[in-house]
Amino acid sequence: MDVAAERRTIAATIIELMADLPNLYLTKEAVLLLSDRELRRGRERGTLTRLGAGVYIPAAEWNALDADGKYRARVRAVALRARSTPQFSHDSAAAMWRLPSVGPWPHEAHQLIDAKLATSTRVGVVRHARGMDSRPAQIDGVTVTSLARTLIDVSCTSAFVRAVAMVDDGLRRARKGDPRWGWATSNVDVETLASTLQLLAPYAGSVKAQRVVDFCTDKSGSPGESVARVQFFALGFPPPQLQVEIRDERGSIGYADFYWPELDLVVEFDGRSKYGNSRRYQRNLSPRTILLEEKDREDRMRRVVASFARINWQTTSNRRVLASHLLPFGLKPAPRALHGETARALGII
């Protein structure tokens, strides 16, 4: 075997050892192996995608990733380039914790640094001078803030609806099929969030974060349901009961996403997590079987409640459309004077 072929073999072996996560290739390692030219050629041929200075990923793997996976790969790339061990925070930690993002992830990675330093942005990295988390976690080889600290940081800096979707997801106890299922440090509650926020005070955005914590619940079944709750509040609808069991003569039908007992009204949110290829649960069943079971479930619910309605991302994302869809079922907005000031403070009207 000639020298060039040997170098290619060594580089390929190093790459194959990084098996269970998307493969990231480092120029600095390739230089030591005298195979950095192979990385440059890969990029020129389109078989490698550059994630940052000196870090590449196979183009096929990059193209197969969803938006969440691509942002996590960028965070890992920044971690691999770092001279020390950075502590990732805010959106970067949220992505590593598999929290949902309503809207796109940022392009930059986010890290915490000592509070005595100055917050700065440089080469695609935002460094927040808010002090290090004393209880960080390791996920996919990356050091991140604890789940509780991550949720507080996101609540301090994100739009209300985006923060609510993340905090709701973080509060909901993981079950089989969830990305955090089986993670030892993945469960938090409202009391933990409140105490985390109190320990950080005074903290920029803490008032905003407290409003998020006060609004959130562990009963939201999906990001879409969280967004719907924010929209219900913005419209002045009375708050619904969540995950209410509905029964008939055959026994339990299931749990309704939203229930207004004064109207005997059930509203169900339909999203990709229920039926599509990206669904979290019932992955052993075909989409057709799930749809048939859901049809039977809906038919049974309709027989025992006064009203039944379905909403989805399209109706929920447009407040006027959502209102026109639900007003015929008897939901009446509260006078704007009663809720408008709070809703404006939250930035949702």
71 falls within a domain: no
| Euclidean distance between CA atoms 99 and 147, whole angstroms | 10
Statement to judge: residues 270 and 310 lie in one domain: yes
Which of 32, 64, 96 terminates a domain? The answer is 64
CA distances from 167 to 117, 154, 160 (A): 28, 9, 10
Statement to judge: residues 258 and 320 lie in one domain: yes
CA distances from 9 to 44, 129, 242 (A): 20, 44, 57
CA-based end-to-end distance of the chain:
69
> What amino acid is encoded at 86 in this protein?
P
Statement to judge: residues 118 and 155 lie in one domain: yes
pLDDT at 193: 96
231 falls within a domain: yes
Picking from 295, 250, 302, the residue whose alpha carbon sits closest to that of residue 274 is 295
Which of 218, 247, 262 terminates a domain? The answer is 218
pLDDT at 195: 95
**b/e code 163-202 from CB counts within 10 Å (16+ = b):** bbbbbbbbbbebeeebebeeeeebbbeeebbbebbeebee
25 falls within a domain: yes
Statement to judge: residues 151 and 235 lie in one domain: no
Beta strand pairing call for 142-144 and 241-248: unpaired
69 falls within a domain: no
70 falls within a domain: no
Picking from 134, 80, 79, the residue whose alpha carbon sits closest to that of residue 109 is 79
Q: 74 phi and psi, to 5 degrees?
A: -65, -40
Whether the CB-CB separation of 267 and 240 falls below 8 Å is answered with yes
Picking from 119, 107, 116, 181, the residue whose alpha carbon sits closest to that of residue 156 is 119
Q: Which domain holds residue 144?
A: 86-218
DSSP 23-38: --EEHHHHHHTT-HHH
Statement to judge: residues 250 and 340 lie in one domain: yes
7 falls within a domain: yes
Query: Under DSSP, is residue 210 helix (H, G, I), strand (E, B) or coil?
Result: helix
**Distant-in-sequence contacts of 157-163, Cβ < 8 A, 24+ apart:** 157/90, 157/205, 158/91, 159/103, 159/347, 160/208, 160/211, 160/212, 160/215, 160/230, 160/346, 160/347, 160/348, 161/102, 161/226, 161/227, 161/230, 161/348, 162/101, 162/102, 162/103, 163/209, 163/212
What pTM did the predictor assign? Answer: 0.84
**Distant-in-sequence contacts of 321-324, Cβ < 8 A, 24+ apart:** 322/228, 322/231, 322/235, 323/235
Helices (H), 132-201: 147-157, 160-171, 190-200
What is the torsional sign of CA 38, 41, 43, 45?
negative
Q: What is the distance of C-alpha 341 from the center of its chain?
A: 28
Which of 185, 218, 251 terminates a domain? The answer is 218
Statement to judge: residues 55 and 103 lie in one domain: no
331 falls within a domain: yes
Statement to judge: residues 230 and 279 lie in one domain: yes
Q: Which runs of E-coded beta strand occur in the chain?
A: 25-26, 48-52, 55-58, 87-88, 109-113, 120-122, 125-129, 137-139, 142-144, 241-248, 251-260, 265-270, 307-312
Statement to judge: residues 261 and 184 lie in one domain: no
Run means of pLDDT, 10 residues per run, the chain, 349 residues: 44 38 69 61 86 88 95 95 93 97 96 92 92 93 96 96 96 84 80 94 89 96 95 94 96 96 96 54 68 90 96 93 95 70 63
73 falls within a domain: no
Domain count, the chain: 3
> What amino acid is encoded at 291 in this protein?
L
Q: 312 phi and psi, to 5 degrees?
A: -145, -175
Statement to judge: residues 291 and 238 lie in one domain: yes
Statement to judge: residues 186 and 287 lie in one domain: no
Statement to judge: residues 313 and 263 lie in one domain: yes
Statement to judge: residues 142 and 212 lie in one domain: yes
pLDDT at 13: 32
| Euclidean distance between CA atoms 256 and 301, whole angstroms | 9
